[in-house]
Structure 1
Amino acid sequence: MKTKSTFLVCCIIALLGIPSFVHGQPPRGPFVISPKVNPDKTVTFSYLAPNATTVLLDGNQFGSANVPMTKNAEGVWSVTVGPVKPDIYPYGFKVDGTTVMDPANVAFFPNERFKASLVEIPSDSPAIYALQNVPHGSITYDYYPSVENSTGTIVVYTPPGYNKETAKKYPVYYLISGTTDTEETFWKVGKVNLMLDNMIAQGKAKSMIVVMPYGNPLAKIAEQTGKDKPSDVMNRDGDDALKRMKLFETDLITKVIPYVEKNYRTINNRDNRAIGGFSRGGGQTLRAAFNNVDKFAYVCSYASYISPAEMNKSFTNITADPAKTNKDFKLLWSGIGTEDFLYKGTTEWEAYLKDKKINVKTYAIPGGHTWMNVKSYLNETLPILFK
């Protein structure tokens, strides 16, 4: 039987809306803010791990690889690095040898094989990929009937005004992420939506729909049939890689494009379709475009190539009649970083095309195989699509 005092306490708890189990909850640790970008463009990273022996900042892409962090009395490890060049960078922490994301940060790098947090260092004047006070488009997650009776996923950007101007139709850019990236990466890391919002507002780019498919349908099939996810392809030019690229091409041409053109207001001809991609997605781009010249007039390869040997074997339709190819493709564009591990293969492919009298617009910048460079490729190509 309850005493009067116990009864009174229970009534107060009920009246205040306080759950009666609060007394059984463990105490919470200190509130952690991370990352904190300082006015001088240094960045303070923090991680709560009172029982850890060592915590390192894993920020290789902004020059802070394996930087030791210092623990305070509350068990929060911190370090300040920089100043850091304005851009968006992946990072994480190594806690007693195990790499983890930053639990205090909701921005993350979507990838099949690794997870990293993202930090944005703003420039003094807004970058083209920064959130600005302009009309914004929309991002939609969508599903479509994919190859081998699977269900595929796409992320779709529709431009500002799409939902208001209901009679207007738009050109489409099919944009494919790199190896182990997902259909979210061009949005969450590449910021293609904000870049287009800003470019459209400034009159630098045409209003367009961007369709971002998942580049690994074989993994989606395995997931939906209870099989193990296939291992990563080690040889980019090997038979297994080419087989997987063909499966993606089949999915894109026979499933994705018909679904998009049925469910979105698109202009359904080759002059209003563009295709582009980064790394593996660039290889998928080139093969899909060269095998389906009737489908795409604009082709953008970001840090990728097809070897001259494969070109001679599989794509004589591109090289046999250069005048026709140059007429068919309103844009054939290739970008690469000078420190990219694919630089040699890419520049050899570009030289091969030029030797065959194929018009290819080339673009080389410093940097490696990174999404910082991808945003530069987007900055160059988005304004010249559908012009």
Structure 2
Amino acid sequence: MCQSFNLRFCLLWTFLCLYGLVLAQPPRGPLVVSPQVNADKSVTFRYLAPQAKDVKLSAQFEKTPVPMAKDAQGIWSVTTSPIKPDIYPYSFQVDGVTVMDPANVAFFPNERFKASLVDVPGDTPLIHAMRDVPHGNITYEYYPSAEGTTGSLVVYTPPGYDQSPSKKYPVYYLISGTTDTEETFFKVGKTNLILDNLIAEGKAKAMIIVMPYGNVAARVAEQKGGSKPADPTGRDNPEAVKRANDFGADLTGNVIPYIEKNYRTVANRENRAIGGFSRGGGQTLRTAFGNMDKFAWVCAYSSYLSPEEMERSYKPIVANPASTNKQLKLLWVSVGSDDFLYKGTVEFMDYLKAKQVNYKSLITDGGHTWMNVKTYVAATTPLLFQ
């Protein structure tokens, strides 16, 4: 009798506890699907905000924010016109406050605001699309860095790396731009999928790609309890140049030794490439021109060095063009025609031409965007290590 009573009491107590937990849960709103890519390549965006007075869509494929309409459930929505297939950042402006899309797990890694991402696929899979091909691996690495701090890297190893324990590979060090993180070339640039597809097509050699964080000053401040220093104004003022050189010292003194100790690399300049976008492109050029014994392949995406800095700091590059042209197996410069760095980049190309330094270039439509970066990565990686 007592055992039966205790059992009933325990069951009742369990039921009451579970009921209390259910009552304690916050009320759930309606299910929101966003973004929804439609068959005609238009996209429907939705945002739940019953109390909001005004919600707009801000997206890189729109020139200005687009008003959204609210339904009876408090869900704001808008359907765009058909969009050119690609990956685009977007956000919502809710009563003047910019927010991510809470219904979307894909976001743009950044030191500041992290926009959401929408992937509009092509009818024919784009070069960055997930395809039925062998895939490489992505690994997050941590290494001893400047001033006793710990640095972070994202490393791509190509298909077959783990299955071929005796094979060694060339390495491409790939640096993202201002406010980007070590994840941006992976999560936004889809560099791993681009390489998977190019390698499967026989267009690119199998290579390791190392993606470091470019803001050494911010990392040092964060790990030593300080505040992130403001980004320097101007691309070639003394503070910007110092930070770029500090990054170059970290790359050559810490990152490369760590990678060559822990990965199977061909450890010579002919099998080392360096490239970057925006600030990362400036870091690329400064690091490469200051360490010609370490890199034979150099790719600058939407970036340049001024003729004044070249004359001041890298005179040997242009003073003996025959030697430079022999050392560099590839010097690549690319930019979009609407990029705010277009003028300086073209001036840099004209300067190299006047000094008889060989380079390859690509000028695309569009601006300072990661849509263009994917194009540049797909164009340059087939040229590396050939």
Deviation, structure 1 residue 24: 2.0
Partner letter of residue 29 of structure 1? G
What is the CA deviation profile of residues 286-328 of structure 1, one whole-angstrom value per residue up to 9, with x for unaligned ones? Answer: 0000000000000000000000011111111101111110000
Partner of 2:181: 182
Partner letter of residue 312 of structure 1? E
Secondary structure of the 2:64 match is: strand
In 2, Cα distance between the equivalents of 1:365 and 1:275? 21
Map 1:311-330; keep pairs closer than 5 Å.
Answer: 311-330=310-329
Contact 1:170–1:265 (8 Å) recurs in 2? yes
Partner of 1:368: 367
The answer to whether 1:294 aligns with 2:293 is yes
Partner of 1:96: 95
Partner of 1:125: 124
What is the CA deviation profile of residues 182-232 of structure 1, one whole-angstrom value per residue up to 9, with x for unaligned ones? Answer: 000000000000000011111010000000000001100000011010001
Contact 1:206–1:385 (8 Å) recurs in 2? yes
Partner letter of residue 100 of structure 1? V
The answer to whether 1:37 aligns with 2:37 is yes
In 1, Cα distance between the equivalents of 2:360 and 2:354? 14
TM-score, with length taken from structure 1: 0.96
Partner letter of residue 53 of structure 1? K
Deviation, structure 1 residue 19: 6.7
In 2, Cα distance between the equivalents of 1:193 and 1:124? 21
- Percent of aligned pairs with the same amino acid: 63
Partner letter of residue 136 of structure 2? G
Partner letter of residue 339 of structure 1? D
Label 1:124 to 1:12 Cα distance change in 2 as closer, same or farther (>3 A): farther
What is the CA deviation profile of residues 76-102 of structure 1, one whole-angstrom value per residue up to 9, with x for unaligned ones? Answer: 111100201111000000011000000
Partner letter of residue 384 of structure 2? L
In 1, Cα distance between the equivalents of 2:11 and 2:65? 54
What is the CA deviation profile of residues 244-295 of structure 1, one whole-angstrom value per residue up to 9, with x for unaligned ones? Answer: 0111011001000000000111100000000000000000000000000000
Deviation, structure 1 residue 9: 9.5
In 2, Cα distance between the equivalents of 1:184 and 1:283? 19
Partner letter of residue 294 of structure 1? D
In 1, Cα distance between the equivalents of 2:180 and 2:378? 20
Partner letter of residue 92 of structure 1? S
In 1, Cα distance between the equivalents of 2:16 and 2:123? 48
Contact 1:13–1:19 (8 Å) recurs in 2? no
Contact 1:64–1:81 (8 Å) recurs in 2? no
In 2, Cα distance between the equivalents of 1:238 and 1:352? 20
Deviation, structure 1 residue 26: 2.3
Partner of 1:49: 49
In 2, Cα distance between the equivalents of 1:315 and 1:114? 36
Contact 1:57–1:64 (8 Å) recurs in 2? no
Secondary structure of the 2:118 match is: strand
Partner letter of residue 303 of structure 1? S
In 2, Cα distance between the equivalents of 1:345 and 1:19? 66
Contact 1:177–1:277 (8 Å) recurs in 2? yes
Secondary structure of the 1:85 match is: coil
Unaligned runs of 5+ in 2: none
In 2, Cα distance between the equivalents of 1:26 and 1:314? 61
Q: Report the RMSD for the aligned CA atoms in angstroms.
A: 1.8
Partner of 1:161: 160
Partner of 2:334: 335
Partner letter of residue 235 of structure 1? G
The answer to whether 1:26 aligns with 2:26 is yes
Secondary structure of the 2:299 match is: strand
Secondary structure of the 2:103 match is: coil
Partner letter of residue 66 of structure 2? V
Tell me which moved more, 63-72 or 234-243.
63-72
Deviation, structure 1 residue 65: 2.8
What is the CA deviation profile of residues 22-74 of structure 1, one whole-angstrom value per residue up to 9, with x for unaligned ones? Answer: 12222100111100000001100000111111111011x21263111111111
Partner of 1:256: 255
Map 1:1-387; keep pairs closer than 5 Å.
Answer: 11=11, 14=14, 18=18, 20-59=20-59, 61-63=60-62, 65-387=64-386
Contact 1:47–1:102 (8 Å) recurs in 2? yes
In 2, Cα distance between the equivalents of 1:148 and 1:247? 11
Secondary structure of the 1:62 match is: coil
Secondary structure of the 1:258 match is: helix
In 2, Cα distance between the equivalents of 1:32 and 1:325? 57
Deviation, structure 1 residue 13: 8.3
Secondary structure of the 1:21 match is: helix
Secondary structure of the 1:53 match is: coil
Contact 1:56–1:93 (8 Å) recurs in 2? yes
Deviation, structure 1 residue 160: 0.6
In 1, Cα distance between the equivalents of 2:332 and 2:63? 33
